Amino acid sequence: MDRLAQRLARGDQAAFAELYDACADRLHHYLAVRLGSREDADDVLQETFVRLARTRKRLSRVDNLVAYVFTIGRNEAARLAARKSRRRESRIAAGSTALFREASGDDARAREAAELVTAALDWLEVEQREVVELKTYAGLTFREIAEVTGLPQGTVATRYRTAIGRLRGWLARER
């Protein structure tokens, strides 16, 4: 990735395409879950890559490009949420199909499972939910999540394990 970072810093369009291909799907999925809207996720994804292009010279100093892209996306999502909050727009919850690719279509069992997991995630504390979202939906490592959130890696791992335990308990009670 160091070489890719250097190419990005020089403004190599093919390098931006590579970075987009490596991160966009996972980042979009994470943003859709985080923001509760595919349309908002589209906007934030676009703004993330626009920001990366505008500040491309900084990319040569980035150690972990994937974590950096997710950090920018997370920050852009927070900016959007703050703007919406100031405008007193209510958040529309993500549909279960926005959360689970497997739940699309006519499979009622998959949709029910997605709705159950969505409800369970809403039950978690915000800090725990974010770690689960970054790990599960974005596929980031604990190290990358630590870089994105600014938390120690041990704290990230502890929050994840605690969240998974709480989810298991909640799901067992609901079934």
Sign of torsion, CA 84 90 93 94?
negative
Task: Enter the pTM of the model.
Answer: 0.72
Cβ pair 48, 27 in contact under 8 A: yes
Model confidence at 76, pLDDT cuts 50, 70, 90, reads very high
Q: What is the rounded CA–CA span in Å between residue 126 and residue 105?
A: 30
Least confident of 111-115, 124-128, 149-153: 111-115
Considering the domain delimited by 1-94, tell me its CATH architecture.
Answer: Orthogonal Bundle (1.10)
**Sequence ranges of the domains in the chain:** 1-94, 99-175
Question: Between the CA of residue 8 and those of 4, 50, 62, 70, 144, what are the distances in Å?
Answer: 6, 13, 11, 16, 20
| Residue that the structure tokens 């809207």 belong to | 37
Model confidence at 101, pLDDT cuts 50, 70, 90, reads very low
Mean pLDDT of 114-130: 84
Could you please state the CATH topology (level 3) that the domain comprising 99-175 is classified under. Arc Repressor Mutant, subunit A (1.10.10)
Q: What is the rounded CA–CA span in Å between residue 57 and residue 59?
A: 5
Helices (H), 124-152: 126-132, 142-149
| pLDDT score for 99 | 52
